[in-house]
């Protein structure tokens, strides 16, 4: 028989025997768990399901053993009564806690809604303020451009008017020169 990797005879190839390590601290226990998980990273890690919420047993539909207050009840009847009473008190406590939890959940959802509304209102207010500032900046920019354009137009008009005046003066001078050079009978002068 050939030597095998496991301690069990007759089974070829299996898990190797691991030395037993006892964790002394919680940190060491966690380290050992992580090492075991990381030996085979392709294998899925076990994630336990959430524990189911405890529910009390529902009250019976039909009670067969009705306990009366008659005398002569046996000593064992008290214990039955005590268990029934304890179970009913647990059920009532559970119902009270569930009602309280539902109320708290509704209060929480209301508070979340109120916070969301308040945040939306603040956002809207700030957005409005930003838009106002943008409009002011645009208006100031337009006004600045208009004043600049007016100044340029005035300068252009004044330069155009001065150019026109200069042209008119030049024409008058030419006419005067032409008048001086031309003979008087052409101009109709005597």
**Residue 48 CA, distance from chain mean position:** 30
- Residue 166 tokens read as 């200069």
- Residue 115 tokens read as 């916070």
Task: Return the number of other C-beta atoms located less than 10 Å from residue 91's C-beta.
Answer: 15
pLDDT tens track for 9-27: 555 555 677 778 888 999 9
Q: Is 14 left (phi over 0), alpha (psi -120 to 50) or beta?
A: beta
**Residue carrying the six token digits 């336990």:** 48
Alpha-carbon gap, residue 4 to 13, rounded angstroms: 7
- Predicted local distance difference test score (pLDDT) of residue 174: 78
Report whether pLDDT(38) > 80: yes
- Residue 137 tokens read as 């900046």
Residue of 77, 79, 54, 53 lying closest to 66 (CA atoms): 77
pLDDT tens track for 121-160: 999 999 999 999 999 999 999 999 999 888 887 776 666 6
Domain boundaries, the chain: 76-150
């Amino acid at each position: 028989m050939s030597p095998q990797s496991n301690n069990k005879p007759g089974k070829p190839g299996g898990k190797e025997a691991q030395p037993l390590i006892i964790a002394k601290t919680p940190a060491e226990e966690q380290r050992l768990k992580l090492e075991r998980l990381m030996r085979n990273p392709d294998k899925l890690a076990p994630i336990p399901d959430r524990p189911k919420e405890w529910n009390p047993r529902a009250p019976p539909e039909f009670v067969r053993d009705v306990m009366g207050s008659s005398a002569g009840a046996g000593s064992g009847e008290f214990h039955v009564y005590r268990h029934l009473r304890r179970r009913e008190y647990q059920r009532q406590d559970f119902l009270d806690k569930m009602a309280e939890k539902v109320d708290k959940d509704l209060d929480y959802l209301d508070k979340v809604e109120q916070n969301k509304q308040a945040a939306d209102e603040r956002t809207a207010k700030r957005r409005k303020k930003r838009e106002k500032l943008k409009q002011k900046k645009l208006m100031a920019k337009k006004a600045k451009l208009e004043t600049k354009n007016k100044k340029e137009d005035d300068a252009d008009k004044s330069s155009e008017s001065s150019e026109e005046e200069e042209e008119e003066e030049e024409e008058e001078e030419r006419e005067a020169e032409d008048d001086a050079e031309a003979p008087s009978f052409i101009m109709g002068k005597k």
